[in-house]
Structure 1
Amino acid sequence: MPAKSKAQQKAAGAALSAKRGNTKVSELKGAARQMYDSMSEAQLEDFAGTRRKGKPEHVAARR
């Protein structure tokens, strides 16, 4: 499932970096921290690998 916005793609990239040990987990905030805790490395790769071109900066959360 690809990322739906630039912000989601960036958060996934940050979480993936922490999952791989390149970034400290304590540096993660908000969505990136939630993604780190709840998603596998493969899922994060899918989200982080999404192209940003043509994506909106943010998408309203569904509830």
Structure 2
Amino acid sequence: MPAKTEKQRRFMGAELERKREGKKTRTGMSESELEKWASKPGGKKKS
């Protein structure tokens, strides 16, 4: 589930970085969950 707002996405990206560095995170989510949240939504592309 991608983040709904840019602020959420940036926070989850920071959490993911902390997780990968081996530090404690605020959310307690797994790395794969954080990756989903930190990703930008695909959306519909205009052709």
Flag whether TM exceeds 0.5 (same fold): yes
Gaps of 5+ in 2: 42-47
Q: By how many angstroms is 1:17 displaced?
A: 0.2
Gaps of 5+ in 1: 26-32, 52-63
* Whole-Å separation in 1 of the counterparts to 2:19 and 2:5: 21
Q: Corresponding residue for 1:19?
A: 19
Task: Determine which structure has the larger helix proportion and give its number.
Answer: 1
TM-score by length of 2: 0.70
Sequence identity of aligned pairs in percent?
41
How far off its partner does 1:43 sit? 0.5
Rounded Cα–Cα distance in structure 1 between residues aligned with 2:40 and 2:34: 10
* Higher Cα Rg, which structure: 2
